[in-house]
Amino acid sequence: MLFRSLCLSVVLISSLFIHHGARAEVASGKEIIAVIGTGRMGAAAGPRLAAVGHTVIYGTRDPSSEKMRELLGRSPGAKAVSQRQAVQSADLVLLAIPWFATEEFVASSGPWSGKLIMDMVNASKMGDDGLLEVAVDTSAGELIQSWATGATVVKTFNTVSYHIIADPSIAKGLVTIPLASNDAEAKARVAAVVESIGMEPFDAGPLRFSRALEHMSTLHMVPYLQDRWEDAYEFYFVTGTAPLGATGVRLAK
């Protein structure tokens, strides 16, 4: 009986410290983030997030691969586990996987209740003219929200180049990262992550405006797909431009 009581005490104390540690991470502005996908976007975001103090957990199909070992070498304090393990080990989940793999991933990686999904997926396909077009009637953001029961989705990082995420100084100026979500608190939390890596968050409204942001991503890729690399650009929103004395908006009829 005494042994059981001692074991229970150890478990309770351990749980208390783990919970306190998780709260301390959030209070300090540092998050535990599962990065799902190790392609160009995930391999740019993970090291950058780790470098500024966030705890990064890579979710990958092969945690012991040479590619993964190289990525861990560039990500201070990070670790690699299976995709489902990564999701279940973090409160924030950065989706950096191809659109065609997204629905299956969400279906196989739950439960999603209480998770905050940072969605950088674009539901796009190649058009007949060699340029990207949106492949769905709504958006990847809205569909992911409908698939991930109990999660909160924030559309983010889908309108920026991978090399700018890795090193924002390449842009030679501020880069705006629009955020779309139905949850103001989740949006503020992601905005803090965006600011922590040297970019400027912008509140782009509810999640349905993921549609506009995913169209922006197709526009962003035009110079690359037309081999006009010298014209490649990043988005920066100039704010504070409303007319003086404006008190409302009049819709055109």
Model pTM? 0.87
Which pLDDT tens digit goes with each residue over 58-76? 999 999 999 999 999 999 9
Q: What are the structure tokens assigned to 77, written together?
A: 């304090």
The burial of 157, by beta-carbon neighbours within 10 Å (0-12 exposed, 13-18 middle, 19 or more buried), is given as buried
pLDDT for position 250:
79
Sign (positive/negative) of CA torsion 59, 63, 68, 73?
A: positive
Indicate the CATH number of 31-231 among 1.25.40.10, 3.40.50.720, 3.40.50.1820, 1.10.10.10.
Answer: 3.40.50.720
More confident residue, 247 or 239: 239
Domain residue ranges in the chain: 31-231
CA distance linking residue 157 with residue 225, whole number of Å: 20
Beta strands, E only, 74-159: 79-81, 92-95, 116-119, 124-126, 132-134, 152-155
Question: Quick check: 6 pLDDT over 90?
Answer: no
Which pLDDT tens digit goes with each residue over 80-134? 999 999 999 999 999 999 999 999 999 999 999 999 999 999 999 999 999 999 9
Which pLDDT tens digit goes with each residue over 220-242? 999 999 999 999 999 999 999 99
Is the Cβ–Cβ distance between 221 and 132 less than 8 Å? yes
Given pLDDT bands bounded at 50, 70 and 90, which one contains residue 28? Answer: low
